[in-house]
Amino acid sequence: MAAITLKGNTIHTSGELPKVGAKAPGFTLVDRGLAEKTLADFAGKKKVLTINPSYDTGVCQAAGRAFNAKAGDADAVVLLISGDLPFAQKRFCEAEGLEQVVPLSSFRSSFGADWGVEIVDGPLKGLTARAVVVLSEDDTVLYAELVPEIAQEPSYDAALASLKG
């Protein structure tokens, strides 16, 4: 269990992010067309997982926009993961013109618990904490950041720099 804050108030996650050097746990998430996508669907590619509570908030939207803008230079697939329904993710990505990212919903999945990012108390209970995980082509964790304050953006440059290592 990790402690993070939401506007200065302590809340907790269900566990810990996978550590750098570890093999990432699998997942099954839902894409904008309601099809299931697994980690194996992205095999052989580097992956940037930007995990957010909901793209209906300004900071989550900023993260989506920033990773979309930087994705072309990243030589990796960028997965926007949140608890939003696939319809809401699709609407957000279309409205913002986000074409360099793949939105995936944790709807119908145990992703938050399996990856240690499910918020277990406070007003956002049941959603995911803000985090970034970068995976190699063979799903080894290259970078992991659990953002300590949900109202803050992640370290985009540090995450993307890990792709070059």
The catalytic residues are 60
C-alpha distances (whole Å) from 100 to each of 22, 42, 47, 48, 116 are: 27, 15, 12, 12, 26
What angle is formed at CA 58 by the lines to CA 147 and CA 128, rounded to 5 degrees? 45
